[in-house]
Structure formats: C-alpha cells, structure tokens
C-alpha cells in the first residue's frame, strides 16, 4: 500500500508596489463609501427581521422556507444579507490593509 504525501508550497511573498499617498487616501474614501452601503443593507435586514443574520439562518433551518411569496422574499433577503455581510467583511479587510500601509509609510 502506497502512502500519499502532501507537498505544501510556500505562500508567495507579497510584492510591494509604490503607490502615491493620495491614491491610497482616495481608495480608502471609496472603500468607506462602499462599506457604508453594505452596512446600511445589513441594518435594513436587521430591522426588517428583528434579528441578526445568524438568528435568521437558524430560523430558516428550524422552520424551513414557506413555499409562498413571503417565503421567496425571505430566501432572497437572506441571500442578499449574506452577500452584504461577506462584502462588508472583505471591504473592512482591505481598509485595514491600506490604513496599515499608510501608518507604516509615515
């Protein structure tokens, strides 16, 4: 019997690219606007359903999705809420990275 061997490759080193400070600041502003959009969507769904996304997921898991128009709306909203939460997380990560780069450059 042959043993399988896994070979891990080292992570590629991040290449640093010089970027003007004003460009980074503009990117940060745009990302903050984008984050605000996603946070507004998340808050809209929190108010609409009176709970956090995890609670809505648990409710859907427990009770299922009704096969009517309300159920269709619930399912669509949960997908949109997940997408907004995922995008907000990605934007926050990008903002942290850019803000950290500015701090290190100062």
Q: Supply the DSSP string of 16-38, one letter for each residue.
A: P----HHHHHHHHHHHHHHHHHH
Q: What is the mean pLDDT of residues 48-77?
A: 95
**Using an 8 Å Cβ cutoff, are 98 and 28 in contact?**
yes
| 6 compared with 28, residue with greater pLDDT | 28
Cα dist from 78 to 67, 72, 86, whole Å: 15, 10, 12
Q: What is the mean pLDDT of residues 52-57?
A: 97
Model-wide pTM > 0.75: yes
Q: CA 21, CA 62: separation in Å to the nearest integer? A: 50
């Amino acid at each position: 019997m042959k043993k399988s061997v896994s070979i891990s490759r080292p992570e590629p080193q991040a290449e640093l690219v010089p970027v003007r400070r004003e460009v980074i600041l503009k990117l940060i502003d745009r990302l903050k606007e984008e984050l605000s959009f996603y946070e507004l969507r998340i808050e809209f769904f929190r108010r609409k359903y009176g709970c956090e996304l995890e609670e809505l997921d648990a409710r859907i898991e427990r009770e299922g999705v009704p096969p009517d128009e309300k159920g269709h709306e619930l399912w669509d909203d949960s997908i949109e809420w997940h997408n907004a939460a995922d995008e907000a997380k990605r934007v926050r990560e990008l903002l942290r990275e850019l803000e950290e780069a500015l701090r290190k450059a100062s």
